[in-house]
Structure 1
Amino acid sequence: MSGLRGFTGEGPSPWTDLDRPPLDAARLRRALVVPGGLWTSLDVVTETGSTNSDLAARGRAGDPEGAVLVAEEQRSGRGRLERRWSAPARSGLFLSVLLRPGPEVPPARYGWLPLLVGVAAATTLSRIAEVETGLKWPNDLLLTAGGTERKLGGILTELAGDAVVTGMGINVSLREEELPVPTAGSLALGGAAVTDRDTLLRALLRDFAELYGEWRQVGGDPEASGLLPAYTARCTTVGRPVRVQLPGDRELLGEAVAVDRDGRLVVRTADGAERAVDAGDVVHVRPQPRER
């Protein structure tokens, strides 16, 4: 017995790097695709262009809510504003889920879904990996590694007909020499107690299903579901001076003071005026040093 489960002999063995074993799709399905649960299917592919693109096509074709697609490697992973996301095979969690919140949730509240994913991911990683995880508005996961704040992962949500596909990429075992940019980080670099992707994925999908169910039950109301206070408590952007880059080379300078009921970031400018900016209208939000 070679122990190479599902290995066909074509291409490099997924067991070449013992720190990065492949996910066991059958075991994950037994644990997560259960009667009465949110998750209705779970597939793990060796590689793909983008799990979001693949699942969006399935959503438009009528796949039911609760489909999960996980890739061991993404060739064309996408972030917000079509930014590229790449990482070595099996070095992280790269997945998308298919949701159909209607008719319980009005479309106007779908904008809360990426923030809900962020809360679920930050909750899971803080609890299971024992790494304090923050949320940079609107869609980044942050942790501290090497004494600096680094990007741990990102979230992308998009419409697919009457469905919503939300995807995330989380760096798990990425090493310093593998970082795409110096500001990136990983659970391993942050000293995580757990980096087993199977354990993390199961916990993440269970935490998300619980939060999503509570949010959906109250029609997507961010306050009644507890989502707004939960997000605000983990949002590292709130309370900081920020420089918000807007389309057309415009900028908004001020202090991020809140996230409002529509999921927008509220910025107070030097003259005391407050302006709410929507994620769809923002190119970058960059924290700024406080004036002394």
Structure 2
Amino acid sequence: MSAGPARMASTTAAAPVIGGSLHVAPPASDKEKEKEKEREKAAAASYWGVAPTRVFKEDGTQWQWLCFRPWDTYAADVSIDLTRHHEPATFGDKAARLAVKAMRWPADAFFQRRYGCRAMMLETVAAVPGMVAGAVLHLRSLRRFEHSGGWIRALLEEAENERMHLMTFMEVASPRWYERALVVAVQAVFLHAYLAAYLASPATAHRVVGYLEEEAVHSYTEFLRDIDAGCIENVPAPAIAVDYWRLPPGATLRDVVEVVRADEAHHRDVNHYASDIYHQRHALREVAAPIGYH
């Protein structure tokens, strides 16, 4: 059985070639070797006793993240339209919009302008729909022996992207004990509520996420305004964010918030589009039914 994709195998060379010449890393000191052994031991213990494959960057340094790999990184498209809004048309759209507005009010009252903590709470919720919807479509694909049209992968990648937002903001703000407790409670409620909504009406469920992402874009815009106004210190970007979004050296918190906002705008468009597809399929069935097409 193959050990993995070719691109994975190509990153494990012990001596990377840089600039056409063989680059050999300087010998590590005993202290560095001991630290490396401790890291490997901890990583192996955390993943069923299997040590992770070593991956190296182009400059020959070892990749330090296990939650994502170099081929998962990308440069966000910050030129995306941030003002796009879907005007509610159907009863389901209006219900979705009302539900999101109802969820926004307590978040505003609780977090106020503590945008670092607000971002962490937002991402613990935003990472749920993609995983739920992807799992539902995955099981449906198995039951019906049919392809998903790429939607399973798209939704799971959305969930993973939202989780990486959370991993990033954990480096910026530390949640208090009661905020962690709130996350557990909110996630438990939202998980079951969204699963029920998705089984009842995927169109409405995707519309809810679309409106949630619209609110996320607004929140991150306010975050940027506070950074620009000096209300929030524009600290250096966390190392995990620099590698994940391929940010330039010297990137700051403002750069991180900007690329996260672009991600949210992309998720907004994807989920509104998914909801539109379900509406169109339902309309086609209604047209086809009287003339005998199924």
TM-score (norm 2): 0.25
Which structure: larger Rg?
A: 2
TM-score (norm 1): 0.25
Higher normalized strand content (fraction of residues): 1
Higher normalized helix content (fraction of residues): 2
